[in-house]
């Protein structure tokens, strides 16, 4: 009997095999099909002997959105981050198109394929594009490519920085691309909302009972400036955050009733012929609760032909509101080998210290990961 992951890989692989990457039917419609997949296996080598929620530690959380957690007692695990996705775009005319992305991943309905992106685009001019529908919130430098492993040097972007309970929005956005002198400009403005019922992040990591979260009145923007080998990105987003629990036969339990929240981020990256630099600095700040979350990463790497190595430090910490704080400090060494333009093989060693004082959390860990990643 096949596992859900194997079934999803076979089904989506067959779909890709049957359809050309770009085609045009008799009506003049054009469509494009692309995809990506990661097969990641990892093992916790050592760490804190304790328990947290349903996990027996030593353990390591490497995906916060869908709660990918590795446990030492389970040995090598391939069922926490391995995934496959397909994206299709139909061009109704030279300026109007529709795009959808289907993704099958762990801890999300047991690998059942779900639609992550679904939006329509209208190219108003050579520089401006208007879009409406469901898209990923571009909170981070790699937001649009978070699950496309060939886009970055690590097995996965540092988990201390990447991951919130709400990862998408339903709404509208305006995207701009252009040249200002010798600087390439990429900008985006977006607005919308998103509800996540029984959010895995809230339910499994923090509350232990089904918990919902809603981000509404979302309004944000980013500006990316690229000149030569340097790229700098500034992002700012404001929204109202509501967390609540639905209880049978009783009124909803409201945890955060629409608190005004701001997330800001700054990243600066360098890609030279040999050296590369990756940095991100972000802050989540809530007005009424006074909750504040600071997180960053800094990585320095070097390229030898098809081989890339990078060492990275990442950190997050919450503000101490009188009962202690939550925090983590992590280090990683990653190696990437590009078999060709579509395939990358990666290995990564992580060691991480749990700095949390407010409660018992995941604890320390050391882990080893291997991944084969492709985009097509």
357: tokens are 């004082």
Of 63, 316, 80, 361, the residue nearest 206 (C-alpha): 361
- The dihedrals phi and psi of 240, each to the nearest 5 degrees, come to -110, 125
**Cβ partners under 8 Å of residue 364, min gap 6:** 47, 48, 58, 352, 353, 354
Given this model, what pLDDT does residue 23 score? 63
Q: Reply yes or no on whether the pLDDT at 1 is more than 90.
A: no
Structure confidence by residue, pLDDT tens digits, 236-262? 999 999 999 988 888 899 999 999 999
| Stated length of the chain | 376
Q: Reply yes or no on whether the pLDDT at 12 is more than 60.
A: no
Quote the CA–CA distance of 365 and 376 in Å, as a whole number.
Answer: 34
CB 175 within 8 A of CB 122: no
Q: Output the average pLDDT for the chain.
A: 92
- Residues 228-267: b if buried by 16+ CB within 10 A, e if exposed: eeebebebebebbbbbbbeeeeeeeeebbebbebebbbbb
Q: Domains in the chain, please, with CATH?
A: 40-79+119-375 (2.40.160)
Quote the CA–CA distance of 256 and 286 in Å, as a whole number.
Answer: 10
Given this model, what pLDDT does residue 248 score? 81
CB 256 within 8 A of CB 243: yes
Locate all alpha helices (DSSP H) within the chain, ordered by sequence: 4-18, 200
Given this model, what pLDDT does residue 111 score? 82
249: tokens are 């036969």
Q: Reply yes or no on whether the pLDDT at 347 is more than 50.
A: yes
Quote the CA–CA distance of 83 and 101 in Å, as a whole number.
Answer: 13
Structure confidence by residue, pLDDT tens digits, 104-149? 988 777 788 989 999 999 999 999 999 999 999 999 999 999 999 9
Q: Reply yes or no on whether the pLDDT at 180 is more than 70.
A: yes
Structure confidence by residue, pLDDT tens digits, 66-80? 999 999 999 999 999
Given this model, what pLDDT does residue 8 score? 43
- What is the rounded average pLDDT of the residues 5-12? 44
DSSP label at residue 77? B
pTM assigned to the model: 0.90
Given this model, what pLDDT does residue 109 score? 73
DSSP-assigned beta bridge partners for residue 309: 302, 335
CB 208 within 8 A of CB 249: no
Quote the CA–CA distance of 32 and 49 in Å, as a whole number.
Answer: 49
Structure confidence by residue, pLDDT tens digits, 14-59? 444 434 466 666 556 888 999 999 999 999 999 999 999 999 999 9
Quote the CA–CA distance of 142 and 325 in Å, as a whole number.
Answer: 27
Quote the CA–CA distance of 50 and 32 in Å, as a whole number.
Answer: 49
CB 369 within 8 A of CB 42: yes
- What percent of the chain is predicted at pLDDT more than 90? 86
- Residues 124-143: b if buried by 16+ CB within 10 A, e if exposed: eeeeebebebbbbbbbbbbb
More confident residue, 210 or 21: 210
- What is the rounded average pLDDT of the residues 312-330? 96
350: tokens are 């992580």
Of 212, 214, 215, the residue nearest 191 (C-alpha): 215
Of 104, 164, 114, 100, the residue nearest 138 (C-alpha): 164
Confidence band of 4 (pLDDT split at 50, 70, 90): very low
Given this model, what pLDDT does residue 9 score? 44
Rounded-to-5 percentages of helix, strand, coil across the chain: 10, 60, 30
Q: What sign does the CA torsion over 98, 103, 107, 111 have?
A: positive
Q: Reply yes or no on whether the pLDDT at 309 is more than 90.
A: yes
């Amino acid at each position: 009997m096949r596992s859900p992951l194997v079934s999803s890989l076979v089904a989506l692989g067959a779909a890709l095999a049957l359809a050309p990457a770009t085609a045009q039917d008799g009506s003049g419609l054009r469509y494009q099909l692309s995809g990506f997949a990661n097969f990641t296996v990892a093992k916790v080598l050592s760490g804190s002997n304790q328990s947290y929620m349903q996990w027996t530690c030593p353990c390591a959380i490497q995906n916060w959105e869908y709660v990918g957690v590795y446990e030492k007692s389970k040995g090598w695990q391939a069922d926490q981050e391995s995934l496959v996705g397909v994206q299709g775009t139909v061009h109704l005319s030279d300026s109007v198109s529709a795009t959808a992305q289907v993704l099958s991943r762990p801890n999300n309905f047991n690998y059942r394929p779900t639609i992550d992106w679904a939006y329509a685009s209208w190219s108003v001019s050579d520089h401006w594009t208007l879009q409406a529908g469901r898209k990923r919130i571009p909170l981070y430098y790699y937001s649009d490519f978070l699950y496309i492993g060939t886009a970055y040097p690590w097995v996965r972007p540092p988990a201390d920085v990447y991951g919130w309970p709400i990862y998408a929005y339903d709404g509208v956005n305006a995207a701009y691309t252009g040249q200002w002198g010798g600087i390439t400009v990429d900008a985006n403005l977006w607005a919308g909302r998103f509800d996540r019922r029984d959010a895995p992040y809230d339910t499994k990591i923090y509350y232990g009972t089904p918990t919902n979260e809603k981000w509404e009145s979302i309004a944000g923007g980013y500006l990316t400036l690229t000149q030569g080998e340097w790229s700098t990105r500034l992002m700012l987003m404001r929204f109202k955050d509501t967390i609540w629990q639905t209880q049978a036969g009783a009124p909803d339990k409201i945890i955060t009733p629409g608190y005004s929240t701001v997330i800001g981020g700054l990243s600066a990256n360098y890609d030279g012929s040999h050296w590369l630099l990756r940095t991100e600095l972000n802050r989540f700040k809530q007005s009424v609760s006074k909750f504040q979350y600071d997180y960053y990463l800094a990585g320095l790497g070097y390229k030898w032909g098809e081989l890339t190595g990078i060492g990275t430090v990442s950190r997050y910490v919450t503000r101490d509101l009188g009962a202690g704080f939550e925090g983590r400090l992590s280090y990683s060494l990653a190696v990437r080998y590009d078999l060709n333009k579509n395939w990358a093989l990666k290995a990564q060693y992580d060691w991480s210290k749990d700095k949390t004082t407010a409660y018992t959390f995941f604890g320390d860990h050391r882990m080893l990961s291997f991944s084969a990643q492709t985009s097509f």
